[in-house]
Amino acid sequence: MTAYLEVSGYCPICEKKVQFASEYNWLRDHFLCSGCGSIPRERALMKVINDYYPNYRDLIIHESSPGGRGVSVKLHSECSHYSASHYYPDLALGTMHKKHGYQCESLEALTFEDESFDLFITQDVMEHIFDPSKAFSEIARVLKPGGAHVFTVPIINKGAQSECWASLDDKGEIVYHHDPEYHGNPIDSKGSLVTMHWGYDMAEFIQCHANMPTTIVMIDDINMGVRAEYIDVVVSYKL
């Protein structure tokens, strides 16, 4: 198949000259780096981490729900104080998954001590949380003063108000407010249910529930392979 788009450029994850190519017009999931296999939102995230925290290799970093490529692999290999976790419904919080080697953590009830991390990273996770107010509050709790939650999330609604897509009732049963949507999950072939369609008012939501000022960084740079829909990077600061 002929490439829909192919360009030469510099990957902020590989830190070298590479080719970026996609066979499809939906670049968000298909505009791949020839070096590390990353997609645009991952390269945008790495650029923001490097621009805002150039000393990131020396920082204490935790990533929730890491992937097997791109930023997750880079941070794991280059940052001596990097740790990561996944949520396993059948495992007690704070315990280690014997097969996968990750600690079980829920963003809504983290087991970490207060002020544990300099940076907290999530990649396309915050649209899958049933109680995002609690999750943002918990992330703020475990960040050190001066630390930050740096993350990607598809801001589907853009300038329109954020919408709850699915929630839990008093019995813990899922309530679908719209047609169910699922995204890929690195540890579950069934995927992850979408619970929120965020808009730019996410920044106000985070300020209200976690008391963290928030910046939404928009990057469009074809030379770094950062071109696609919904690749904004969000930075929330612990004061």
Supply the range of the domain harboring residue 139: 39-237
Crossing angle of helices 132-142 and 202-210, in 10° steps, is: 60
For position 35, what pLDDT does the model report?
98
Specify if 202 maps to a domain. Answer: yes
**Cβ-based neighbours of 204, under 8 Å, separated by 6 or more:** none
Local structure of residue 221 (DSSP, 8 states) = B
For position 184, what pLDDT does the model report?
76
Low-confidence ranges of the chain (pLDDT < 70): 1-2, 187
For position 2, what pLDDT does the model report?
67
Specify if 33 maps to a domain. Answer: no
Local structure of residue 48 (DSSP, 8 states) = H
For position 1, what pLDDT does the model report?
56
For position 239, what pLDDT does the model report?
96
Structure tokens at 23: 């066979």
**Cβ-based neighbours of 186, under 8 Å, separated by 6 or more:** 65, 66, 67, 68, 86
Specify if 19 maps to a domain. Answer: no
For position 196, what pLDDT does the model report?
98
Number of domains in the chain: 1
Specify if 30 maps to a domain. Answer: no
User: For residue 126, what is the domain's CATH number?
Assistant: 3.40.50.150
For position 3, what pLDDT does the model report?
78
| pLDDT tens-digit series, residues 182-209 | 997 776 777 899 999 999 999 999 999 9
For position 120, what pLDDT does the model report?
99
Specify if 221 maps to a domain. Answer: yes
| pLDDT tens-digit series, residues 55-80 | 999 999 999 999 999 999 999 999 99
For position 69, what pLDDT does the model report?
95
Using only C-alpha atoms, the chain has a radius of gyration, in whole angstroms, of: 17
**Cβ-based neighbours of 213, under 8 Å, separated by 6 or more:** 207, 236, 237, 239
